Amino acid sequence: MYKEKKIKILLVGYGKMGRMIEDNADFVGGEVVAVYDPAVRSIGIDSLDSVPADIDVAIEFTSPASGYDNVCTLLSQRIPVVTGTTGWFHRIDELKTLFDTESHTLIYGANFSVGMNLFYAIVSNATSLIAQTGVYDIYGFEAHHKHKVDAPSGTAKVLESIVNKYHPSENLFTALRAGSIVGLHELGYDSDFDEIKLVHNAKSRKGFAMGALLAAKYAIAHSGVHDFQDIFTQCLSING
C-alpha cells in the first residue's frame, strides 16, 4: 500500500509555539525533523547555515530582533519559510528586493490562528455594514500574557487596518499585558441606544499551530511572498 511521504519540517524557535507545532505536525502529514534555537542548545542544529538538505519547509517563531535575519538566511538556501514573528514586517518590501519572489517562498502573518483569520472576515463584513449607519463609535481592546513584547499586538494592528477601510480610527486598541492570557481581541460598536461586540478569545496555541502548518503545506507547492490573511482560504482547501 502506498504511503504518502511525510512533510519534513525545520522548526526555528522551540518555545511554546514551536512545541505546539511539533505536537500537531500530523495535522498536515508532517513531522519535525530538525530544530534551531540558540536558547536551547541541547537539541537541534547549531546554525541556520547548516540546515539538512532534505528539509521541505521551515516554520519560524522567534523574536522581532532575529526574525528578519532568520528568514533571509533560510530564503538564501531556497527553503520555503512560514514566519509568525512580528515586529519586522515593515521590511517586507526590502526583503522582496533581495529575493526573486518567483522562485522563493515566504508566508508571513501577524496571527496564524484559524479562528482569528475567520474573525478578520467577520470584522470586515460587520464594519462595512455598521459604518453605513453613521451612528456607531468603534473601540478595541486586546489582552495577552505578560511576556508579550509588542503592544498593541500585530493582530490588533491588522484589525485596526480592516476597520479603517470603512471607519477611519486612530489608536483603536487599548492593550493589556498580564498573567498567561493566550490572546483576546474585542471590537465594540457603540451608539446612543445599543452596543454590538465582536470577540475572539484564544483558548490555547493549538489554533495558531494548525494555521502555521496549513501555511507550511501551501508553501511547499507555491512560490512568492504572501500574507497568510490573503491566502487563508486557499490554505484551508489544500488540506481537505
The DSSP-derived string for 88-138 is -GGGHHHHHHHS-TTT-EEEE-S---HHHHHHHHHHHHHHHHHHTTS--EE
pLDDT at residue 1, as a whole number: 44
Question: Of the listed 6, 96, 148, 157, which one is catalytic?
Answer: 148
The model's pLDDT over 178-197, given as tens digits with 9 standing for 90+, comes to 999 999 999 999 999 999 99
Which set of grid coordinates corresponds to residue 232? 487563508
The model's pLDDT over 9-37, given as tens digits with 9 standing for 90+, comes to 999 999 989 999 999 999 999 999 999 99
Which set of grid coordinates corresponds to residue 49? 547555515
Lowest mean pLDDT of 33-42, 58-67, 158-167, name the range: 33-42
8 Å CB contact between 97 and 120 = no
CA distance 221 to 194: 48
- Helix (H) / strand (E) element for 12: namely strand 7-12
Query: Residue 3: pLDDT band by 50, 70, 90 thresholds?
Result: low
CATH fold of the domain at 114-202? Dihydrodipicolinate Reductase; domain 2 (3.30.360)
pLDDT at residue 42, as a whole number: 61
Q: Where in the chain is the domain with CATH 3.40.50.720?
A: 7-112+206-237
Query: Residue 199: pLDDT band by 50, 70, 90 thresholds?
Result: very high
Q: What is the mean pLDDT of residues 192-213?
A: 95
How far, in Å, are 79, 89, 154 from residue 222 at the CA level?
12, 20, 25
pLDDT above 70: residue 2? no
The CATH number given to 7-112+206-237 is 3.40.50.720
144 is annotated as an active-site residue: yes
The model's pLDDT over 71-88, given as tens digits with 9 standing for 90+, comes to 999 999 999 999 999 889
Q: Does the predicted model carry a pTM greater than 0.75?
A: yes
185 is annotated as an active-site residue: no
The model's pLDDT over 96-126, given as tens digits with 9 standing for 90+, comes to 999 988 899 999 998 899 999 999 999 999 9
- Bridge partners of residue 32, in order along the sequence: 9
Give the residue ranges of DSSP H helices in 165-227: 206-221
CA distance 30 to 213: 8
Q: Which residue has the cell 501551501?
A: 218
Question: Of the listed 144, 185, 217, 226, which one is catalytic?
Answer: 144
Q: Which residues contact 153 (CB under 8 A, 6 or more apart)?
A: 86, 110, 142, 144, 175, 183
How far, in Å, are 103, 138, 147, 223 from residue 160 at the CA level?
32, 10, 23, 28
**Cα 54 versus chain centre, distance:** 25
CA distance 179 to 194: 32
Q: Where in the chain is the domain with CATH 3.30.360.10?
A: 114-202
Q: Which residues contact 158 (CB under 8 A, 6 or more apart)?
A: 110, 111, 120, 229
How far, in Å, are 79, 142, 185 from residue 89 at the CA level?
19, 20, 21
pLDDT at residue 140, as a whole number: 98
